[in-house]
Structure 1
Amino acid sequence: FLSAAKVIEELGADGIDINMGCPAARVTSSCHGSALMRNPELACALVAATKDAVSIPVSVKTRLGWDTPDNLISFCTKLVEAGADALAVHGRTYTQKFSGAADWEPIYELKKSVGVPVIGNGDIFTARDAVEKIGNLDGVMVGRGTFGNPWLLRDIVDAFTTGEIHSTMDGMSFAQKIPFIIEHCELAAEVKGERRGMLEMRKHLASYVKGIEGARELRSRLVRVETIADVREILCF
């Protein structure tokens, strides 16, 4: 962690966010992601080592707990004592994965107990969701809600800065979205390389066509794309 943190800082990152929330089996099986909630000593050691290695802020993303939220406050308090500058909490436990509804109440209670910014995450699919759920928190984190709807981020900023709640995506036809979809693919390829970028774009492409006529056929083709040219051909752009 120490050497990796130094590399990240040297690359110009504004901060380092340690993932203690991922529930994927391939991650937790090696005591990473959500599994760190079951090993608070190691989790705190990772935070402390990262803080010692860099001068930029260090935050932690985690979940309510392994199977209950009972230890959320004690776990996060230890992370803060180890040096965490901010916390982001997803409103489900590890065992829930992404089932059921996110529970934000334990996150609100956590905010009352720690002296660092706390950001809530889980089931933010509209700007109204963000406004209604922020409560006493310092911010909201958006994940799956951006799949097929990258405009959601601007909608949320507008809601908090102007008080106007709207959905940019709802005012667009699919034809109007296509240039943005291509740009999204191009940016992914620029950052990750075309092969890796298109692999990661497949889930986004499937979400972009949700609800339109012929979505099933389009989706079945888009989840197999390997190049931007494939996307252009399928979308006739």
Structure 2
Amino acid sequence: MIQSDQIVGKSTSDFAVGSLQLSGRAFLAPMAGVTDLGMRRAAERLGAALTVTEMLDADFYLDRDPAAALRAEGTGIAHHVVQIAGCRPETMAESARRAEAAGAAMIDINMGCPAKRVTGGFAGSALMRDLDLAAGLIRAVVRAVKVPVSVKMRLGWDADSLNAPELARRAEAEGVAMLTVHGRSRCQFYQGDADWTAIRQVKQATALPVVANGDCKSLEDADDMLRLSGADAVMIGRAAVGRPWFVGEVARHLAGLPQSAPLDAATRCAVALEHYRTLLELMGAAQGLRHARKHLAAYAAYVQSPDSAGLRRRLVVSENSAEVESLLVSLFESEERAVAA
């Protein structure tokens, strides 16, 4: 296992969420089908101050659905944050209690997911169309647990109803400890650019810590996000896929710490291998291999080698878990050879 102090420095940029003390201001966003335990472990070990599980459907979680249980797994995570979604206060409250009992250090309420299968059940960002219901859900969850509760939202449902500031005020009144705002409306999905400036209205509406989310792809983006939004921290999603160390790089940058040299191929290979092995252990060889392909393809995309294309193709179609590991090692070794040449 890679030790964090081999790769990252000690952040001095402390950040408090209720009683939870964090060591930085860059977080890994929850992403359905992506932020599995392996990715969260890697991101945290490499400097992310906070990571969040994939979204859990509160009903499925209470029914002990095996897939929901896998998403909720937090073994080895220092600050285990469980994100839940639903539209019934009693179900959300009970799922929050269960997550807390299982070791969650914080509960995050999803009010930002734009997927039709979620909004069709009046959960996720659909809650921004009914702030009374949203406030009732928040109230139920806050009262159900002792750990801090956060809310992740969008700017609003569409361009004509950008009501994130009002939801922020109501969430604060109900006892929420932190807000995360994705700089798009629900109807934008992931199209266009995230509007970091619009997040400033949320920051001005509340005394709570506010986290800006959406389109942070570089250290310069992180600076601009905080400057334009007035937010206290940044949350990084798609840009961390295939490079979970990027969140830690942003955390160090925002803390004013010197950047270490880019991770070499051998270190990135070790991160990818540990992530892959975690998925096999957690899900079993067959399911773990299938689930890992998106991550393996993303890790491979950052390998710089003129002869890597064939290895990449074989890596993401192999049905043999041992062969996948061998191909992954060969892929990163091809970069080492290219650098040495």
How would you bin the TM-score normalised by the shorter chain? 0.7 to 0.9
Question: How has the CA–CA distance of structure 1 residues 50 and 105 changed in structure 2, closer, same or farther, with 3 Å as cutoff?
Answer: same
Shift of 1:108: 1.4
Q: Does 1:12 align with 2:103?
A: yes
What is the rounded CA distance, in whole Å, between the counterparts of 1:167 and 1:130 in structure 2?
Answer: 19
Counterpart for residue 127 of structure 1 = 219
Conserved? CA contact 1:146–1:153, under 8 Å: yes
Amino acid of the structure 1 residue aligned with 2:324? V
Amino acid of the structure 1 residue aligned with 2:219? A
Shift of 1:220: 4.5
Q: Percent identity?
A: 38
Counterpart for residue 210 of structure 1 = 301
Amino acid of the structure 1 residue aligned with 2:201? E
- Name the TM-score, length of structure 2 as normaliser: 0.62
Shift of 1:199: 3.9
- Name the TM-score, length of structure 1 as normaliser: 0.86
Question: How has the CA–CA distance of structure 1 residues 51 and 210 changed in structure 2, closer, same or farther, with 3 Å as cutoff?
Answer: same
Q: Does 1:42 align with 2:133?
A: yes
Conserved? CA contact 2:162–2:185, under 8 Å: no
Counterpart for residue 144 of structure 1 = 238
What is the rounded CA distance, in whole Å, between the counterparts of 1:101 and 1:166 in structure 2?
Answer: 30
Counterpart for residue 322 of structure 2 = 229
CA deviation string 1:158-201 (max 9, x = no partner):
212234357735xx34x653222111112334455555544443
Q: Does 1:103 align with 2:195?
A: yes
Conserved? CA contact 1:118–1:139, under 8 Å: yes
Task: Compute the RMSD of aligned alpha carbons.
Answer: 2.4
Higher relative contact order (CA 8 A, sep 6+): 2
Number of residue-to-residue matches in the alignment: 234
CA deviation string 1:144-164 (max 9, x = no partner):
111111111221122122343
Q: Does 1:159 align with 2:229?
A: no
Q: Does 1:181 align with 2:267?
A: no
Shift of 1:221: 4.3
Q: 1:51 aligns with which of 132, 135, 142?
A: 142
CA deviation string 1:189-232 (max 9, x = no partner):
44555555444432222211226446665555444466642421
Structure 1: state its 5+ residue gaps: none
CA deviation string 1:113-158 (max 9, x = no partner):
1011100011112223212311221111111111111111221122
Q: 1:75 aligns with which of 152, 167, 170?
A: 167
What is the rounded CA distance, in whole Å, between the counterparts of 2:135 and 2:308 in structure 1?
Answer: 46
What is the rounded CA distance, in whole Å, between the counterparts of 1:66 and 1:191 in structure 2?
Answer: 36
Question: How has the CA–CA distance of structure 1 residues 191 and 29 changed in structure 2, closer, same or farther, with 3 Å as cutoff?
Answer: same
Counterpart for residue 78 of structure 2 = none
Q: Does 1:91 align with 2:191?
A: no
What is the rounded CA distance, in whole Å, between the counterparts of 2:239 and 2:152 in structure 1?
Answer: 17
Q: Does 1:28 align with 2:119?
A: yes
Within a 5 Å distance, the mapping from 1:189-204 to structure 2 comes to: 189-204=280-295
My pick for the range that moved more, 43-52 or 197-206, is 197-206
Question: How has the CA–CA distance of structure 1 residues 232 and 100 changed in structure 2, closer, same or farther, with 3 Å as cutoff?
Answer: same
